[in-house]
Amino acid sequence: MVLRVSPFPNGFVAGIHAIGWALIVPCFWYLDRVIAVCKSTTKERKERQEEECYLHPLKVFFGSIFFFIFFLLTAPLAFLGFLLWAPLQACRRPFSYHRVELTSAERETNRGFEQTGKASFTFASANLCLLPDSLARFNNLGHTQQRAYEIGKRIAKSVVRPNVIITVESPSSCGPVSPSDSIIPRACSDTDGGLEGQSQPTGDHRSEPTESSASSDDAEEPLTEPSSSQLNYNENSNKQGQSDNKSPAVLFSQRIRRQDEEPWEVSPFFPANIDILCLEEVFDKRAAKKLTNTLKPLFGHILYDVGVYACQPPCRCSAFKFFNSGLFMASRFPVLEAQYHWFPNSRGEDALAAKGLLSTKVLIGQNQKQKKVVGYFNCTHLHAPEGEGKIRCDQLDMVTRWIGEFQAAHKQPDEEVVFDVLCGDFNFDNCSPDDVLEQNHSLFEEYRDPCRAEAGKEKPWVIGTLLEQPSLYEEDVNSPEMLQRTLVTEEVRKQYISPPVPKQGVPLVYPEPGQPWIGRRIDYILYRETSISKLCRTELEEVTFISQLAGLTDHIPVGLKLKVSMNGDYNDE
Residue 265 β-bridge partners: 544
Distance CA 453, CA 460 (A): 9
- Which of 89, 128, 130 has its CA nearest to residue 284? 130
384-389's contacts with Cβ under 8 Å and 24+ in sequence apart are: 384/349, 384/350, 384/427, 385/347, 385/348, 385/349, 385/350, 386/434, 386/501, 387/434, 387/504, 388/347, 389/428, 389/434, 389/435, 389/436, 389/437, 389/438
* Straight-line distance from the first to the last Cα atom of the chain, in angstroms, rounded to the nearest whole number: 28
DSSP label at 258?
Answer: B
Distance CA 554, CA 127 (A): 8
List phi, psi (to 5°) of 11. -70, -30
Distance CA 325, CA 341 (A): 10
- H helices of 11-101, where? 11-36, 42-48, 55-88
Distance CA 322, CA 308 (A): 9
Distance CA 225, CA 189 (A): 11
- Which of 266, 259, 260 has its CA nearest to residue 235? 266
**Catalytic-role residue among 301, 381, 383, 555:** 555
Angle at 86 between CA 315 and CA 216, to 5 degrees: 155
Residue 84 in 3-state DSSP?
Answer: helix
Sheet strands (E) in 82-236: 96-99, 118-127, 163-166, 180-183
Contact between 376 and 420 under an 8 Å Cβ cutoff? The reply is: yes
Distance CA 383, CA 356 (A): 9
- Which of 556, 523, 285 has its CA nearest to residue 382? 523
555 catalytic residue (yes or no): yes
Residue 183 in 3-state DSSP?
Answer: strand
- What is the total residue count of the chain? 573
Contact between 557 and 126 under an 8 Å Cβ cutoff? The reply is: yes
Q: Which residues are catalytic?
A: 555
